[in-house]
Copies of this chain bind each other. A is one copy, B any other.
């Protein structure tokens, strides 16, 4: 019990109201943070679900106002999905990677491979007629939020914008980072050595993805309504890199 144990604490912010287009996310998250009694410190990382960013950025689309292209109609027929929804998915995608009944996996405009290009029908007020797109640029949204928090608190916090995403060979979604600011989203261990002095074979760690997964443990998928989690106690040595670094370059992709 001599030296303190390395520890990380995750605290959910539960007082965040339902977000409306145009809302000042940084102000609302700051108020929720203050209500927890936690005083932000250098090195804290605030994880925010992309949904509230998308809502503040008014990334809603109304299915009734979409005219499906012939391509969208064909894919809708093949997958059993709504043709207007498929049109929106295609407009958010660079290409369709796989599709089958009830499933479209595509490369989102950001380069991320995921189901439905991240277009979301859950937790969207108005039910089935409106859907919610991913933030236009989640790294930029992260940087803006980080700057606003730095101004409010005078501390150097990191920000991660998260989503729940499926995997190629595993059941269940896990938290991943769509955006990041102020942290090395991808950590590079090249040149470091293990306990035996051997150079490490594993050279890169998806740091921001692991942070997002940790935060998702508290956020919940259903009706919990905890859109933000403060992570305290993380340590890193690398300089900040955005979440774009987590996306594997197309030419290195063996699986499409």
Contact = CB atoms under 8 A, between A and B. Distances in A.
A74 interface: no
Interface string A1-31: 1010111111111100010000000000000
B223 A192 contact: yes
A218 interface: yes
Contact of A246 (B122, B171, B201): B171
B247 A1 contact: no
Contacts of A193: 222-223
Interface string A77-106: 000000000000000000000101000010
Interface stretch (A62-70, A123-131, A146-154): A123-131
Contacts of A211: 217
A226 interface: yes
B206 A173 contact: yes
B8 A9 contact: yes
A192 B122 CA distance: 11
Number of copies: 2
A71 interface: no
A202 B170 contact: no
Contact of A172 (B3, B213, B246): B246
A6 B13 CA distance: 8
A142 to B, nearest CB: 17
A93 to B, nearest CB: 14
A248 B169 contact: yes
26 contacts: A1-B35, A5-B13, A6-B12, A7-B10, A7-B218, A8-B218, A9-B10, A10-B214, A18-B195, A121-B198, A122-B202, A128-B198, A167-B206, A168-B169, A168-B254, A169-B255, A170-B209, A171-B246, A172-B207, A174-B206, A192-B223, A193-B222, A193-B223, A194-B223, A207-B217, A210-B217
